[in-house]
Every structure is written in structure tokens, then in C-alpha cells.
Amino acid sequence: MKDFRVRFAPSPTGALHIGGVRTALYNYLLAKKNGGTFILRIEDTDQTRYVPGAEAYIVEALEWCGIVPDEGPDTGGDYGPYRQSERKAMYSEFAQMLIDKGRAYYAFDSDESLQKMRADHESEGKTFRYDSSVRDQLDNSIGMAADELAERLQSGRPYTIRLKVPIGEVITVSDLIRGDVKFKSDELDDKIMLKSDGMPTYHLANIVDDHAMKISHVIRGEEWLPSTAHHVLLYQAFGWEEEMPHFAHLPLILKPTGKGKLSKRDGSKLGIPVFPLSWKGERPEDSFMGFREFGFLPGAALNFLAFLGWNPGTEIFSLDQLSQDFSIERIGKSGARFDFDKAKWFNQQYMIAMPDAALAKLVRPHIEAAGYQPSDEYLVAFCGLMKERCVVLPDFAAQGYYFFEPVKSYEEKMIRKRWKPENRAVFEQLRQNIHASKPYECASIEAAVKSFIEEKGLKFGEVFPMLRLALTGTMKGPSIFDLAALLGEEEVDNRLQKGYDHFDQVKQ
């Protein structure tokens, strides 16, 4: 079997949608599974839609995910250049080859004439399509005398080159996910191959580059399946049928409701990321939050994305494990629901599994952004206590602020329910016992509290909640004994005293 060579070929027209990352991931996994090559190719032939900074964003997004190209614009390789805009001369040659083979033709139609044709069709309740049913009536080289064609070409009159789709044929696309998909040629339009500015369209450049770069498998989104009929026709026209790659068209990523395709606007509407990294557009509505800035670990984001359409039967996979187990055969045909709660679950599992010291390095920017400057040792211990209670990285600062500053507010409802001012003297004695714990560490503090409860004939439910409320202001959080040991005896003593005073005020 020929070498596995796959490519991810995004257009630099804006931020890379998370669906594009999934496409890159599946290509990468197939290459690594089979000892092949993963290529990044920038398809920037449509200069009217080019957005400055988009290519750099794509590269950074892939780097953050750990999807590193073996060949590409920055990596190099034997099949470059890897930007289509730098391969412009090549496409003209191949467009001319199609002309010479009688598989394409020159089209001189003006924008105005085509607009009029569309309007005429619409007035009759029809949809205009530049195809075999109308091309003989339009301004193109089909049936044109050679001398007239030569004169037009020499005059510099603008033209495009269109693929001449054959009449009455059935084109079969053999898809590794969907099986054989058939298209009737009479239902296909004569797509433009070369634009009037000399730049190729996606269709021509895509085929020429895939052939030149010896691409073995084309894995891309379902939305490209209809175009594949034209691509098969191009492979046939060039005589490259034997080198045609295997096609695999991925299922759609659906909205969290499961209804409709996930769009870039859904992120803003639902307050969830649908891009790998944040993107700032010229308008507020064109700016989007990214998985990275939302607080996801790259491994968790990839693990989540891998399961949007592919299911190996196990849930937690590293990138290396995904590479070993990946198979196109397990990719489903149906759309995959973008279950953001599941994404957060993956992230939590990754944080729990991560060593505390490594996690602390990722958490520190969020802690410092909140105005705190803890020591490395303190932050590592903090992460160890909080990581099972946090879902994304910003949660550490938001939910664990009381590790770094005094309690700002208390859950008043719980205080009214549980605090009895007449027990203040008992809790004062407990505070003193805790303060006297030596050494001041988790085990000794826990022993002091439990022996006090037993000695006074109290119940854990009468004591533990009040200690937690005094130390944190909330009923949620890690072990109060671990917390107390990390805060230190002076801070704990101050918080207990302040907490008891507040409880009394609430109950007045």
C-alpha cells in the first residue's frame, strides 16, 4: 500500500472553528497510526476573503493542541511551497491542460450578463446553474471559431476557465465512511477552475496540490461531499484515477441541542467556546472565546473532539493513545452533538490526573490575574486540594479565593439554620483547642476537633458545617482539616473568631 500522506488544508479567512480542529486531529491520527506524514497546507487562493493574522492563528491553534505538522509553510518539506498563493503558475498550466484535453473551456460572460441570466431564471421560478443545459447559449469558447477565440484571448478580455462536465454520466464517490455515493453529471454545474485574476478556485488547486503532494487520504467535513463529484471528474480528466486518494467525509458537529449544525455564532449565544483559541475581530460580533482562554487543557479538548464522531469504547485517551487506536471504520455517519457538559467533564478528569506541580503552573496566571501572589509551594498544595472541585482553570481563583484572602461573604441561609448563639462558648473553646494543636498540621487538627466533639457529646453535623462556614463562607470546598493546615494557625484563629462574630449578628 502507498505511504499514508494526509493534509489539513484550511483557508486563512478568520478564526479556525473547532470543527476544523477535529478535521486536523483525525488527519493527524490517521498519519501517526500508520507511520505516515501529516501536512499543513494553507489554501489562500481566494484573496478577497483573506484575513491578516488568520494563518498565524491556525498555526498557533494546532501547536496548542499538539497537532504538529510534519510538512508545512513553517516546517518545510519536499513538496512545497505549502501556500497555494505561492504555487500560482502551476495552476495555470493545469487549467490549460484541461482546455487542451477538451475537458474545460474559456468563459467570457460578464458579471452583468450572468446576473441577468439568474434574474430571468428566478422570474420563472427556476434556479440558474451554469451547466450543460445552458452553456451553449452563453458567451464561452464552446463552438467558437478558432480565430475568434484567439482574437479574444489576445485582446486581454477577462475570462474564466470552467470545467466541462460530461452529459449523462453517473459519478461514483467511494467514501470510507459512507460507502459509494453517486451523483448524476446532469445535476452538476460547470464549476470555475481558474478565475479571471489568474488564481485557481478551490476545486482545481485542491486536486492539483493533492496530486503533487502525493496525498493518500482526504479526510474533511461532510459539507465537501457534493464537491467531490467534480473532484473525481478532475482526476479522470487529468488521467490520475490510479493516484486518486481515498475520501472520508466526517459527520457534522451539531448544536448542543442536537438540532442543526454548530455555528461560530452559537458560542456567543450560549456562552461556550467553539474555537480553539480566542479571536478578536474588527467588530464585537466577530470576536470569540477560545477553549484555551475558557480554561481547558489541550489534551482534554482533543479528547472531547476525538469523540465527536468517533467512538473507541473508552473515554480517556492521550494523544499517543488516540493515535494507536484511531480507525476511520469507527467514524459514524450521523452528526455528533456538541455536548459541552461532557467537554467540561473531560477537562476535570485531566486536571485531576495531572501532577499538582504541573497544574499549578497552568493555574498561576489565573490566580495572579485575580491579584494574588502565592508561593509555589502554597499554590501546589492549593491545586491539590481544589482540583477535584474545579472544572476549568479559572474556577481555581473564583471558587478558591478564600485560600488567598479573608472570607468576603457567608451563606446566610446556612447560618440561620445551624448556628445557635448559646453555643458560642463551646465553639470558642474549640477554637482554642484548634489553635493549640501541635504540630499544626492536618492530622493533629483533625484529632483535636474529633476528640473535642466526643468529649462534649456533640455531633459532627453540629460542628463541621460551622467550622467550614467560618473558614470559607460556603458549604463547598475541600477537607476543613487540610484547609486549616494550609492556611496556618494564625489565619485560622482569626477566621474562626470573625466567623463566630458574624454568625451571632445574623441570628440577632
Half-sphere exposure of 124 (CA within 13 A, CB side): 8
Check: CB of residue 204 under 8 Å from CB of residue 240: no
Residue 91 to residue 198: CA distance in whole angstroms? 9
Ranges of beta strands (E only) in 308-435 are: 336-337
Check: CB of residue 414 under 8 Å from CB of residue 387: no
Over its length of 508 residues, how does the chain's per-residue pLDDT go in tens digits? 579 999 999 999 999 999 999 999 999 999 999 999 999 999 998 888 899 999 999 999 999 999 999 999 999 999 999 999 999 889 999 999 999 999 999 999 999 999 999 999 999 999 999 999 999 999 999 999 999 999 999 999 999 999 999 999 999 999 999 999 999 999 999 999 999 998 899 999 999 999 999 999 999 999 999 999 999 999 999 999 999 999 999 999 999 999 999 998 899 899 999 999 999 988 888 899 999 999 999 999 999 999 999 987 778 888 899 999 999 999 999 999 999 999 999 999 999 999 999 999 999 999 999 999 999 999 999 999 999 999 999 999 999 999 999 999 999 999 999 999 999 999 999 999 999 999 999 999 999 999 999 999 999 999 999 999 999 999 999 999 999 999 999 999 999 999 999 999 997 7
pLDDT digits (tens, 9 = 90+) for 45-56: 888 889 999 999
Residue 281 is predicted with a pLDDT of: 85
Whether residue 186 is found in the same domain as residue 231: no
Assign residue 224 the CATH number of its domain. 3.40.50.620
Q: Is residue 77 part of a domain?
A: no
Whether residue 488 is found in the same domain as residue 419: yes
C-alpha grid cell for residue 173?
464517490
C-alpha grid cell for residue 58?
491556525
Check: CB of residue 326 under 8 Å from CB of residue 243: no
Q: What is the CA radius of gyration of the chain?
A: 32
Residue 317 is predicted with a pLDDT of: 87
Burial 47-83 (b: 16+ CB within 10 A, else e): eeeebeebbebbbebbebbebebbbbbeeebebbbbb
Whether residue 324 is found in the same domain as residue 386: no
Query: 105 is in which domain, residue-wise?
Result: 89-194
Whether residue 113 is found in the same domain as residue 101: yes
Contacts of residue 88, Cβ cutoff 8 Å, sequence gap at least 6 = 198, 199, 200
Check: CB of residue 31 under 8 Å from CB of residue 37: yes
Whether residue 349 is found in the same domain as residue 279: yes
Residue type, 150: A
Whether residue 428 is found in the same domain as residue 452: yes
The domain tally of the chain equals: 5
pLDDT digits (tens, 9 = 90+) for 30-44: 999 999 999 999 999
Angle of helix 480-487 relative to helix 442-456, nearest 10 degrees? 120
Give catalytic residues, as residue numbers: 264
Contacts of residue 470, Cβ cutoff 8 Å, sequence gap at least 6 = 407, 495, 496, 498, 499, 500, 503
Assign residue 388 the CATH number of its domain. 1.10.8
Assign residue 447 the CATH number of its domain. 1.10.10.350
Whether residue 99 is found in the same domain as residue 151: yes
- Cis previous bond, 439, omega within 30: yes
Residue 276 to residue 254: CA distance in whole angstroms? 17
Residue 48 is predicted with a pLDDT of: 84
Check: CB of residue 325 under 8 Å from CB of residue 303: no
Residue 399 to residue 391: CA distance in whole angstroms? 10
Residue 345 is predicted with a pLDDT of: 97
Q: Is residue 74 part of a domain?
A: no
Q: Is residue 47 part of a domain?
A: yes
Assign residue 125 the CATH number of its domain. 3.90.800.10
User: Among 286, 320, 354, where does a domain finish?
Assistant: 354
One DSSP character per residue, 424-471 reads: HHHHHHHHHHHHT-SS-SHHHHHHHHHHHHHHHT--HHHHHHHHHHHH
Residue 79 to residue 5: CA distance in whole angstroms? 11
Residue 178 to residue 396: CA distance in whole angstroms? 44
Assign residue 275 the CATH number of its domain. 1.10.1160.10
Whether residue 475 is found in the same domain as residue 485: yes
One DSSP character per residue, 358-370 reads: HHHHHHHHHHHHT
Residue 81 is predicted with a pLDDT of: 96
Q: What phi and psi values does residue 370 have, to the nearest 5 degrees?
A: -85, 0
Residue 507 is predicted with a pLDDT of: 76
Residue 336 to residue 446: CA distance in whole angstroms? 48
Residue 480 to residue 468: CA distance in whole angstroms? 6
Whether residue 477 is found in the same domain as residue 392: no
Residue 453 is predicted with a pLDDT of: 96
User: Among 194, 221, 236, where does a domain finish?
Assistant: 194
Whether residue 149 is found in the same domain as residue 188: yes
Q: Is residue 258 part of a domain?
A: no
Kind and range of the H or E run holding 184:
strand 179-184
Quickly list H helices, 213-255: 225-238
Whether residue 136 is found in the same domain as residue 174: yes
Residue 40 to residue 10: CA distance in whole angstroms? 8
β-strands 179-184, 104-107 pairing: unpaired
SS3 of 99-156 = HHCCCEEEECCCHHHHHHHHHHHHHCCCCCCCCCCCHHHCCECCCCCHHHHHHHHHHC
C-alpha grid cell for residue 183?
451523483
Residue 286 to residue 298: CA distance in whole angstroms? 23
Helix or strand or coil: residue 397? Answer: helix
Check: CB of residue 407 under 8 Å from CB of residue 495: yes
Whether residue 341 is found in the same domain as residue 373: no
Residue 379 is predicted with a pLDDT of: 98
Q: Is residue 79 part of a domain?
A: no
* CA distance from start to end of the chain: 82
Helix or strand or coil: residue 74? Answer: coil
β-strands 336-337, 253-254 pairing: parallel
Contacts of residue 10, Cβ cutoff 8 Å, sequence gap at least 6 = 16, 20, 24, 42, 43, 58
Q: Is residue 220 part of a domain?
A: yes
* Alpha carbon separation from 99 to 107, 143, 193, 285 (Å, rounded): 11, 13, 11, 44
Residue 467 to residue 499: CA distance in whole angstroms? 9
C-alpha grid cell for residue 359?
497544574
Residue 485 is predicted with a pLDDT of: 97
Q: Is residue 401 part of a domain?
A: no
Q: Is residue 146 part of a domain?
A: yes
